[in-house]
Chains A and B, each alone.
Chain A
Amino acid sequence: MRVPLSWLREYVDLPATETGRDVQAKLVAVGLEVETVEQIGAGLKGPLVVGQVLTIEELEGFKKPIRFCTVDVGMANGTGEPQEIVCGARNFSVGDKVVVVLPGAVLPGDFAIAARQTYGKTSHGMICSTDELGMGDDGTHGIIVLPPEHEVGTDAIELLELVDEVLDIAVTPDRGYCLSLRGVARETAIAYGLPLSDPALLDVPPPNAFGYPVKVSDPFGCDRFTARTVVGLEPDARSPIWLQRRLQKAGMRPISLAVDVTNYVMLELGQPLHAYDRTLVDGPIGVRRAQQGEKLTTLDGTARVLDAEDLVITDNRGPIGLAGVMGGANTEIADSAAGEHTTTSVVIEAAHFDAISVARTARRHKLSSEASKRFERGVDPAAAAAAAQRTVDLLVLLAGGMAESGVTEISAPSAPRTIAMPADHPDRVAGVAYGRETVVRRLQQVGCDVYGQDELIVTVPSWRPDLAEPNDLAEEVIRLEGYENLPSTLPTPPSGRGLTDRQRLHRRIGRALAGAGYVEALSYPFIGTAVLDQLGVDADDDRRRTVTLVNPLSDEEPALRTTLLPGLLGALRRNDGRGSHDLALFETGLVFRPTGTEAQAVRLPVDRRPTDEEIAGLDAALPRQPRRAAVVLAGAREQAGWWGKGRPADWADSVEAARTIAREAGVELIVRGDQHAPWHPGRCAALYVMVDGEETLFGHAGELHPRVVKELHLPERTCAMEVELDVLEQAVDGALQAPRISAFPVATQDVALIVDQEVTAADVERALREGAGELLETLRLFDVFTGDQIGEGRKSLAYALRFRAADRTLTVEEASAARDAAVALAAERTGAVLRGA
């Protein structure tokens, strides 16, 4: 809501010294968000006067038509001689009254005016457009032609009200009444402790039976409808400058007198109005719900197909307006300039429509108007008659119209709304002892009637539909007493329970990965099918079953991620492209994995706690959203330096990242070879953990498939790991059981095993462990070797085995026997041959 300070002063007698910034501070304190104070005409300096065009000479030979004019500016130029001015606009004729700026003046934007040579002539000033005077672009690109009654030489700064301040207020949804000068003036009056001249206090004739016939068939959708008729409007009447200027400053464009007047009254009183051309309305006006599929072309020229829930205004032919949103083109007011038909009599509608109905219609038709904005937030139903009267008065005054004596007023019966509240309730909400007297005074200031002693009975004013509960009234008291005056106290909460096990685990994992050199990257969770194709994900893979958004930011990425890899790989690529090549990134976050068997969402009650079954029903509508962790690696894992050559990141690093995570949960990781997109089949590990005695898939790690690397433009040999932390949580097996420490000596045995290249170290290790039996304490792969000695397609894996018994020193024979058993099982399971054997 844009509020010109000069207009506001009409209703509140503010001290002359108060600036827009002063008023802003006061209004902000009582809860009106005054976002800016616009200084209109800042820096403007005259002489700027009314002139009359005496002669026009068309200059030839230039790229665009140019006029050399002489203009009578009276004594404003000191001589009374005609002023010679060059002008590029063409929308004026000899005899027209125009606005002339003379040399020595300064226009907004620090535009100093001086006599200057142009188009072979000397121009002593300018004939002005709205744009140049800071009045806003009127869309004509022409100069201002004033009504003929203004005298030559009159100061145009004052005439056009060019200097003003405009408060721009972001009105919150509960304060619909502040979408009007009347509402903002009320708050201003309270903030300054000054009386308000309420512009809605008008003498309104009582309704009678001979007004324009109106039939409301839906009294819930429309609980009030006032219709008034004005006839004999002068076809050539134009909005006076003061009215146009107020509309412009408030951000509306002047259109025609009748339309301008309805807009003006809406801005003044907050009541949206509509003027129908009476000769175009066929029979009685009706208010009803639309029939499904009915058609209406609205004033914006859009043909609309109506919904059965839309509330419409009708005449004998059908809809002539979307109630509270926008009128129809078929009864539009016609200006004299517009064509053959000119409006000379109007029916004025001042009605009150249901807020929710208007909001739904506006949203359904994607049509937000000044009217719908107001109805959605609540219009004062009691102001309808006054607004109609004010419109009638202005049309009579400005257009020479005559008000017909018929007054139609249809209203559904309604009782004033009252709220019972203990007098100390605001005190208890605020933690401040205001006392009953202050509470009552503040409530009366906002327009409430208050009765009662300890228990107050508060009747709320018609323009405050938002006041419905005791806390609403408490807010009124507290805001007017000043939020800034609230004391600052600290509550004493009971001791907390701290983080849950799950939260602590997630934090440990993040720290462990960061400690291992990974940098966290939080990517957006939006993906499209393209990236799943690039990752080589099969058509029937679960990762293609996505949660999809109705209104995604990008149509390319309408779905929520089912894996963390697309986002993380995107971050990797971005870093690589910016010159960081040695990269280790991690992310933990949710993925969204619908099963397709989710229930329909249920609407929970709000008047009581929902039952556990109802809550479970809601939860059943949601997709599974497990938390995952992922890492990606490229370039060097260890930098080269004086300490050595460095080492590129490889698949083993990605497996180690999973081990780092599992370790934080005290869980052993089981690693198996696998084939799973987007990993390279020979360098892909499936990762398992034990959950309730079952091996459960935890995730995958390894080197990405070269095709994926190419498709996604990633650095060569990029590695990745992704695991599901919810699985890890299930694998956590209660409190750690302390190990029994043996003090007997350790027996060490090394073995080198030759296996086929395809055999994974993980399988060999598992066989060794199982074969070695209970005496095995640790096992470690310390070397991998390929070469001619081993043979084509073969590799040698060297392991260090440590044996120890709890109750004795092992003999060499015992250790050797355990080692042999381990090798034997590895040979049986994996075809391993002892090297050198």
Chain B
Amino acid sequence: MQDTFFVQGTTPDGRVTTGDESGIVLRTHTSPVQARSLLGRKPPVYVVCPGRVYRTDELDATHTPVFHQIELLAVDEGLTMADLKGTLDHMVQALFGPDMKTRLRPNFFPFTEPSAEMDMVCYVCRGDSVGNPDRPCRTCGSEGWIELGGCGMVNPKVLVACGVDPEKYSGFAFGFGIERMLMFRHNVEDMRDMVEGDVRFTRPFGMEI
């Protein structure tokens, strides 16, 4: 992938590799944890995995090359996309309040099928800014929705590669960026504040947010 950091390797004859030949990269998302989880235990599997991820983005107000994702994986008998939707609704309500809801839009990811992009109602304007030029919303650009991340039903091929019988089990997964969530929830204007380690930014958050 074009936004991947590749690790240099050394060939048996001592040559330093320059492309993707080493077979080692810095993970661009936390999904490898899903594969490891499925390899390490028998279904039913319900895991949540936060972690650091790396992409070759330059640091600016809305991008950082090193950030955190949190990902959920559920593999069990009879799981459906409706379960995925319900779990997402549950999550945003837990994080942002009881009247929050999510929206799914079809999208493509190789490791889920069907796949979706998940949005949640704008935390700030709750959709009031849509078609209301007098009260524009900077957080959602007056779209009323905020894009959270990708999700979908675990591609049966992934289950096969992890030794799980896709005839018996199905699963869903989603993941999103923690920094992005922090920006919405705490009105952080500049991503750089989260990576510079300025104590004036960090201290007010206390021990738990």
Contacts and interface: CB of A to CB of B under 8 A. Distances in A.
Contacts of B5: 549-552
Contacts of B44: 493-494
Contacts of A583: 199
Interface residues of B, number: 65
A199 B173 CA distance: 39
B114 A479 contact: yes
A674 interface: no
Most buried by B among A551, A602, A608, A621: A551
A102 interface: no
Nearest to A518: B199
A549 B56 CA distance: 11
A615 B7 contact: no
B65 A553 contact: yes
A33 B9 contact: no
A565 interface: no
B22 interface: yes
Nearest to B41: A497
A449 B179 CA distance: 46
A431 interface: yes
Interface stretch (B121-129, B150-158, B181-189): B150-158
Interface in B90-142: 90, 103-108, 113-117
B61 interface: no
A585 interface: yes
Interface in A511-552: 511, 514-515, 519-525, 547-552
A325 B78 CA distance: 45
B116 A483 contact: yes
B12 A600 contact: yes
Interface string A705-728: 000000000000000000000000
B170 interface: yes
Contacts of A430: 80-82
Nearest to B196: A574
A550 B6 contact: yes
Given A173-B108, A523-B197, A550-B7, A493 B46 contact: yes
A432 B170 CA distance: 15
Contacts of A489: 80, 82-83, 85-86
A483 B157 contact: no
B161 to A, nearest CB: 4
A524 B74 CA distance: 31
A469 B113 contact: yes
Q: DSSP class of A's interface residues: helix, strand, loop or mixed? A: loop
A809 to B, nearest CB: 45
B202 interface: yes
A487 interface: yes
B157 A606 contact: yes
Select the residue from A488, A493, A575 with max chain B CB neighbours within 10 A: A488
Interface residues of A, number: 74
A607 interface: yes
B56 A551 contact: yes
A756 interface: no
B7 to A, nearest CB: 6
B163 A31 contact: no
B62 interface: no
A580 interface: yes
A491 B76 contact: yes
A516 to B, nearest CB: 11
A603 B197 contact: no
A580 B200 contact: yes
A58 B208 CA distance: 75
A471 B86 contact: no
Contact of B106 (A479, A487, A488, A608): A479
B58 A553 contact: yes
A172 B108 contact: yes
Interface string B1-42: 000011111001000011110111010000000000001000
A621 B24 contact: yes
Nearest to A490: B86
B81 A491 contact: no
B158 to A, nearest CB: 9
A490 B197 contact: no
A488 B7 contact: no
Interface string B32-72: 00000001000010100000100010100000011000000
Contacts of A836: none
Contact of A550 (B17, B104, B198): B17
Contacts of B83: 431, 489-491
Contact of A609 (B86, B114, B161, B197): B161
B96 to A, nearest CB: 16
A484 interface: yes
A772 interface: no
A608 B17 contact: no
B86 A551 contact: no
A460 interface: no
Given A429-B153, A488-B82, A489-B82, A574 B197 contact: yes
B104 A483 contact: yes
Contacts of A490: 83, 86-87, 90
A621 B74 CA distance: 29
Interface hub of B113, B157, B197 (most chain A Cβ within 10 A)? B197
Interface string A18-60: 0000000000111101000000000000000000000000000
A488 B161 contact: no
A558 B44 CA distance: 41
A26 to B, nearest CB: 12
Given A175-B108, A483-B106, A519-B203, A471 B113 contact: yes
Contacts of A622: 24
B155 to A, nearest CB: 7
Nearest to A483: B104
A472 B200 contact: no
A496 interface: yes
Interface in A164-214: 172-175
B188 to A, nearest CB: 14
A606 B196 contact: no
A578 B161 contact: no
Given A550-B6, A601-B23, A484 B104 contact: yes
Given A469-B113, A493-B46, A552-B5, A521 B104 contact: no
Contacts of A589: 52
A494 B47 CA distance: 11
Contacts of B198: 571, 574-575, 578, 580
Nearest to A618: B23
A484 B197 contact: no
Contact of A601 (B22, B104, B202): B22
A428 interface: yes
A770 to B, nearest CB: 39
B126 to A, nearest CB: 18
Given A472-B113, A601-B22, A524 B66 contact: yes
Given A469-B113, A471-B153, A550-B18, A609 B200 contact: no
B162 interface: yes
Contacts of A432: 80, 82
A473 B169 CA distance: 18
A357 to B, nearest CB: 17
A605 interface: yes
A522 to B, nearest CB: 7
Contacts of B46: 493-494, 496
A548 B7 contact: yes
A475 interface: yes
A478 interface: yes
B196 A571 contact: yes
9 contacts: A430-B80, A432-B82, A491-B86, A522-B195, A524-B65, A550-B18, A571-B198, A609-B39, A609-B161
4 nearest A-B pairs in the assembled complex, by CB-CB distance = A609-B163, A31-B106, A431-B80, A521-B197
Given A173-B108, A488-B82, 19 more contacts: A429-B80, A429-B81, A429-B170, A470-B156, A474-B114, A483-B116, A493-B74, A494-B44, A521-B197, A523-B197, A548-B8, A550-B5, A550-B19, A551-B5, A551-B6, A583-B199, A605-B161, A609-B39, A615-B39
